[in-house]
Amino acid sequence: MSTQGYSHSAPEQAAGAAKAPGYRRIVVKAGTSVLTFAEGRRRGLDLATLTDLTRQISLLRREQGIEVLLVTSGAIAAGREGLGESWSDLGRDIPSRQVLAAVGQSRLMHTYQELFAAHEVRVAQTLLTIKDLSDRQSYLNVRNTLLGLLELGVVPILNENDVVAVDEIGEVFGDNDRLSALVANLVDADLLLILTDTDGLYTADPRHDPSARLIPVVKQVDAEIEGVAGTRLNPWARGGMPTKIDAARLVTTAGSTMILCHGKAKDAVLRAARGEAIGTLFQPAGGKLEARKRWMLGGISHRGEIRVDAGAARALMGRKVSLLPAGVKEVQGTFQRGDIVFIAEEGGERIACGIANYASADIERVRGRRSTQIEGILGYHYGQEVVHRNNLVLL
């Protein structure tokens, strides 16, 4: 297997994380598998882990002046614990999970509030859905609120609003992985730290392949990295390695660092913040993107994709030009004008995302044609470009 996209050298991670003492804002995401326990039919919050997590976050804020936002899972598990044996009558369908989340959200937040209070740290709850971050105005409102809380020294505790959300509670976005990446881009964080129940990204599934090796550094999230991502490890968690790789792509494309490590490793949060070698470090793809383009990355619609020919792909990546209808080979899915969609090569490798200037049905009609023919074919005209270069982000 090629190692172009990553390195097995642990010292290289330390070098790659040399700027860690400069982190000023960190998003910590703690997954269900880290925050909960399962003993037979008993499931609930792991108080020892939550206690240690709040201790580490409080130390970062007090001793290093680092601003921390916590994206937490665990509401549904807390709901199961709160209902006791009653929850066994509930299924695993969406309405049942929403009931559990409604019971568990207040229990989870109360637990955090008490644990942080022991360190004289104030907290604030923020429940979000993906739609809240897809709308530009709502996105800015959430951003202003979170930045205002940080200025006051408050630790925002975020979770997907499973009580009202449908997509988020299913299998689409994965146990807050995507939400944590969106939040990191939203507040322009320097580091996204994802705490999970594995030591990081491996070359293969370590449960089944004894030769699997930990990958200390990922230089670029590409098809090879996506290929080594395994399946979910915890049947009660909604995430899995693929959703974490998706989060890494979003964050690193925006110019930030991501670290994936075991959430129960000793002082995992403090070690990551200090720049010590722990887990897998995903290096930024380049400089920080402007705020509007970070929003675009977070608003990508999974409903559609535009595939382009080789010439158009080279032009987009090399010259950063607009995408014209002549270069479009195929339109997949259904989307509307103004939706943010992926742009991919003919083979399916995604190379960019951008705001579609035309609906999928319109692009299907004009694909392969010259821009001057658009109005004659459609009867109207929104511009010569399918995606304008100012509304396009390379992945």
pLDDT 10s digits, 353-389: 888 999 999 999 999 999 999 999 999 989 999 999 8
CA distance 45 to 43: 7
Query: Rg for the chain (alpha carbons), in Å?
Result: 22
CB atoms within 10 A of CB 302: 12
Structure tokens belonging to residue 281: 């470090």
Instruction: Using pLDDT thresholds of 50, 70 and 90, give the confidence band for residue 234.
Output: very low
CA atoms within 13 A on the CB side of 306: 40
Q: Is 128 helix (H, G, I), strand (E, B) or coil?
A: strand
Which has the minimum average pLDDT: 44-48, 206-210, 278-282, 334-338?
206-210
Q: What is the mean pLDDT of residues 229-233?
A: 48
Plot region of 393 (φ>0 → left; ψ -120 to 50 → alpha; else → beta): beta
May I ask the CATH class of domain 6-293?
alpha beta
Pair 366, 324: CB distance under 8 Å: no
- In this structure, what is the dihedral angle of CA atoms 167, 168, 171, 177, given to the nearest 10 degrees? 150
Give 363's contacts (C-beta < 8 A, 6+ positions apart). 306, 325, 328, 331, 356, 386
**Domain 299-394: assigned CATH number:** 2.30.130.10
Residue 224 has pLDDT above 90, yes or no: no
Residue 2 has pLDDT above 60, yes or no: no
Q: Is 118 helix (H, G, I), strand (E, B) or coil?
A: coil
Which tens digit of pLDDT belongs to each residue from 72-89?
988 888 888 878 766 666
Which tens digit of pLDDT belongs to each residue from 320-355?
799 999 999 999 999 989 888 989 999 888 888 888
Higher-scoring residue by pLDDT: 285, 106: 106
Pair 261, 272: CB distance under 8 Å: yes
CA distance 188 to 308: 31
CB-based burial label for 37 (10 Å; 0-12, 13-18, 19+): middle
The amino acid occupying position 207 is: R
In the chain, where the domains are located = 6-293, 299-394
Residue 254 has pLDDT above 50, yes or no: yes
Q: What is the mean pLDDT of residues 126-151?
A: 86
CA dihedral (76, 66, 173, 49) positive or negative: negative
Instruction: Using pLDDT thresholds of 50, 70 and 90, give the confidence band for residue 98.
Output: confident
Instruction: Using pLDDT thresholds of 50, 70 and 90, give the confidence band for residue 99.
Output: confident
Q: What is the mean pLDDT of residues 234-250?
A: 71
The amino acid occupying position 211 is: S
DSSP 174: T
Residue 7 has pLDDT above 80, yes or no: no
Mean pLDDT of the chain, nearest integer: 84
Instruction: Using pLDDT thresholds of 50, 70 and 90, give the confidence band for residue 175.
Output: low
pLDDT the model gives residue 6:
63
Residue 123 has pLDDT above 80, yes or no: yes
Looking only at Cα atoms, what is the longest distance across the chain?
A: 69
DSSP 391: G
Higher-scoring residue by pLDDT: 11, 91: 91
Instruction: Using pLDDT thresholds of 50, 70 and 90, give the confidence band for residue 151.
Output: very high
Q: What is the mean pLDDT of residues 308-318?
A: 92
CA distance 244 to 234: 14
Instruction: Using pLDDT thresholds of 50, 70 and 90, give the confidence band for residue 163.
Output: low
In the block, tokens 């909604």 appear at: 238
CA distance 49 to 35: 6
DSSP 48: H
Pair 300, 234: CB distance under 8 Å: no
pLDDT the model gives residue 173:
42
